[in-house]
A and B are shown apart, each in its own frame.
Chain A
Amino acid sequence: MGKAEVKLAGMGEIVFARGAGVLGCIGLGSCVGALLFDPRTQSAALAHVMLPEAHESDVRQLPGKYATSALPALLQMLDTPPAFASRLKAILVGGGELFQNRSQTLRIGERNVETIQRLLRELRIGVVFEHTRGNFGRSFEFDVASGLIRVRAMGNTSAEKDLSAALGILRRAA
């Protein structure tokens, strides 16, 4: 495999790749990396979601910032109307609560995950890989061509999985 271009989604950003390339997020705490893959076009779009619901004026500039605006933006990027969304596959990483003993917490990590899962259910999009919640941060990289996902976390909770079958990735002749 040649050296694939790596596109990292910063907070609130959305990145896209078709056929080849690596998409990922660095240092997800309560944020969630929500990736949708379209087996038909072998494309992937990834949003670095910060908050569950959009109630701010910057939705248009940064649609990836909020779960409720990120999913429609991902569908649009994959050129998929909501009625056909069920052909897409989802990958979710992040949504941890790093600060365990906060006196009043907004539970943003948990709410990010819940909101994205609810929206995915409504769109009938299946989740093929999930590494969420817990009390730790994560980074991850997803290789669009091979379907390999690598999640890094401090300590021993890292993971690596070949998702090519689950994502219907076409194997190219060597």
Chain B
Amino acid sequence: MTTTLNELRTDALREIGNIGLGGAVTALSDLTGVLFTLDTPRIHPMNAQALPELCCAMPETLVVGTVSRVNGDWPGEGAFLFPWESAQVLWHILVQMQPSGLDDLNELYQSVINEVSNIMLGNYLQAISQMTGFTLHMEPPAFAADMAMAVLSSILVEALYGQRELLAIETAFKTPAHEFKGYFLYLPETGNLEKLFAILGI
């Protein structure tokens, strides 16, 4: 099924992304005591040729990332990517320690990133749920640390399975206090978008 994305619909998705991520970033600020700000979400069709900024610029840079399957009325995959240096900032703030490298990336460090993803995606979905009345459940995040392109393409391929194209709601969040940038990606199945637009009356 093809969903036409006119300007109004793109704006609506961007606004939903904004409100959802606003909630998610507030939760991260509460958790860390550091103020995070959001970039305006980018809404675009996602395929092999349209990759997020991070992966185009630095495909082989080391990132840590999570992906969580979302089930319910607006199913898809929610993913977070943090360049290694940004993950170091999160570890430093949240557990006052940092892994020295990939070999040192133990379960504690992984669970910190999983927990950040859990809290942020949970708040994102809750905001969407409140706005639309959708029932949404997320599965626990899965963790990877590797080249940006390898992590992202693995997420993308699994999300693309059985579908020709995906929609991507992509945004970055930053903090003026640290050299930090995090990337959030929601990859909803396009077939269910009509349900969302019907609820919003557009």
A-to-B contact residues, CB < 8 Å: 10-13, 26-31, 50-51, 55-58, 62, 65, 96-106, 108-109, 136-139, 152, 154-155
Which residues of chain A are within 8 angstroms of B148 by Cβ–Cβ distance? 27
Task: Assign chain B's interface to a size class.
Answer: 20 to 34
CA distance A154 to B149 in the complex (A): 12
Partner-A contacts on B (CB < 8 A): 48-49, 55, 59-60, 62, 67, 69, 102-103, 139-140, 142-158, 160-164
- A104 contacts B60, CB within 8 Å? no
The prevalent SS among residues of B at the interface is mixed
Q: Tell me the complex Cα distance, A51–B60, Å.
A: 21
Q: How far is the CB of A129 from chain B (nearest CB, A)?
A: 19
Q: Are B48 and A12 in contact (CB under 8 A)?
A: yes
How far is B151's CA from A109's CA once the two chains are assembled, in angstroms?
Answer: 12
Contact indicator A29/B146 (Cβ below 8 Å): yes
Instruction: Give the docked Cα–Cα distance between A109 and B36 (Å).
Output: 36
Residues of B within 8 A of A26 (CB): 59-60, 147, 149
CB-defined contacts of B140 to chain A, threshold 8 Å: 101, 103
Tell me, rounded to whole Å, the shortest Cβ–Cβ distance linking A48 to chain B: 8
* Cβ 8 A contact of A108, one of B59, B144, B145, B161: B161
- Complex CA–CA separation, A165 to B91 (angstroms): 49
Do A31 and B157 form a contact, CB below 8 Å, given A10-B49, A65-B48, A99-B67? yes
Closest A-B pairs by Cβ, 3 of them:
A27-B149, A137-B150, A29-B154
Q: Is the CB of B164 within 8 A of A58?
A: yes
Residue of B nearest to A97 (CB): B154
A95 to chain B, nearest CB (A): 10
- In the complex, which of the residues A13, A62, A137 contacts B151, with contact meaning CB atoms closer than 8 Å? A137
| B144 lies within 8 A of A28 (CB) | no
- Quote the shortest CB–CB distance from A32 to chain B (angstroms): 11
Asked whether, in the complex, the Cβ of B60 is within 8 Å of the Cβ of A152, the reply is yes
Q: State whether A154 and B144 are in contact (beta carbons under 8 Å apart), knowing that A57-B164, A106-B158 are contacts in the complex.
A: no
Question: Which of A13, A104, A154 is B147 in contact with, Cβ under 8 Å?
Answer: A154
Contacts of A108 in B (CB 8 A): 154, 157-158, 161
Given contacts A10-B49, A27-B60, A28-B150, contact A103 B158 (CB under 8 A): no
With a cutoff of 8 Å between Cβ atoms, the chain B residues found around residue A10 in the complex are 48-49
Asked if B153 and A136 make an inter-chain contact with CB atoms under 8 angstroms apart, the answer reads: no
Q: Which residues of A contact B143 (CB under 8 A)?
A: 99-101
- Return the contact of B102 from the options A51, A58, A98, A155 (Cβ within 8 A): A155
A residues in contact with B164, CB < 8 Å: 56-58
16 contacts between A and B (CB under 8 A): A11-B48, A13-B48, A27-B150, A30-B153, A30-B158, A50-B48, A50-B157, A50-B160, A56-B164, A97-B154, A98-B144, A108-B158, A108-B161, A138-B150, A152-B60, A154-B62
* Cβ contacts under 8 Å, A50 to chain B: 48, 153, 157, 160
Instruction: Please report the C-alpha to C-alpha distance between residue A85 and residue B159 in the assembled complex, in whole angstroms.
Output: 34
B102→A27 contact, CB < 8 A: no
Structural contact, A29 and B157, CB atoms closer than 8 A: yes
Least distance between A132 CB and chain B CB atoms (Å): 13
